[in-house]
Amino acid sequence: MNHDKRGFTLIELMLSMSFLSVLLLAIALTVIQIGNIYNRGLTLKEVNQAGRSLSIELQRSIAQTSAFPINYPTPGSKFINRSWGGRLCLGQYSYIWNYGTTLKNPVANGSNSNVYTSASTAKIRFIKVPDPSAAYCALPVSPAIDPNGAVEMLTVGDRELAVHSFTISYDPSATDPITQQRLYNLSFIIGTNDQAALSANSSTCRTPDDIASDLAYCSVNQFNVTARTSNAVQ
């Protein structure tokens, strides 16, 4: 009786191991890619939710106040915009923020940043604070903010979000001569605050071919809002 028992040859074994290695590598790369897509989706969601919340909040506040000047540094301006941050004083509340570069490197700005009084060491990202007299927009600008009643609108969460730019403007022709209602155009950029993964002006994330890019955790979005003030003759 012929008992011909053959096993794997060395070449067959090497080919099998090579195939298995390629298969495991492909699976690993697929899992990593799925994880990156998932993380990017979460980052985009958090940025967009923050932008929508601020848009709604600012529209509501502007709708409850009369037309206001924004000609800083002229006294009486209700909008202050500096390289390190800004303030917008609307009726009962003021909105105060520091830009992302200031949050990352406060030492470089020295005393030029929005900070709480000594009672709090928390960083100011974008807060809403009671200010019916618009004292925080009075000149000269005082950096110290009373933390009592202040509400942070940009919580850190899983992603460190920050405001990277903020502008407000209006067209004089868009003011109703009878009711004095006025349309304001607001534009602001919100995004993650890993400065190494952002462009020089923090308006976009670095491109994929840049070694410092981080597409999974970097997201920046610009929000444009039109808001109308209340009827001044009511």
Structure confidence at residue 98 (pLDDT): 95
Spell out where 171-219 has E strands.
183-192
The pTM of the full predicted model, rounded to 2 decimals, is 0.83
**Cα end-to-end span (Å), the chain:** 111
Q: Is residue 174 part of a domain?
A: yes
pLDDT score, position 191: 94
Q: Is the per-residue pLDDT at 173 higher than 90?
A: no
Residue 173 within a domain: yes
Domain count, the chain: 1
pLDDT, tens only, 21-35: 888 888 888 887 787
pLDDT-based confidence at residue 50 (cuts at 50, 70, 90): very high
3-state secondary structure of 148: coil
Query: Is residue 234 domain-resident?
Result: no
Q: Does 184 map to a domain?
A: yes
Q: Is residue 5 part of a domain?
A: no
**Which residue from 39, 48, 84 is spatially nearest to 190, judged by alpha carbons?**
48
Q: In Å, what is the CA distance from 12 to each residue of 5, 7, 15, 23?
A: 16, 10, 5, 17
**Which structural domain, as residue segments, surrounds residue 128?**
10-228
- Decide the pairing of beta strands 115-116 and 144-145: parallel
What pLDDT, in 10s, does the model give residues 180-227?
899 999 999 999 999 999 998 889 999 988 988 888 889 999 999 999
Of 8-22, 41-55, 120-134, give the lowest mean pLDDT range.
8-22
The answer to the question of residue 24 being in a domain is yes
The pLDDT of residue 141 is 78
Q: Is residue 4 part of a domain?
A: no
Radius of gyration from C-alpha coordinates of the chain? 27
> pLDDT category, 127, cuts 50, 70, 90?
very high
The pLDDT value given to residue 93:
95
Average pLDDT over residues 58-78: 92
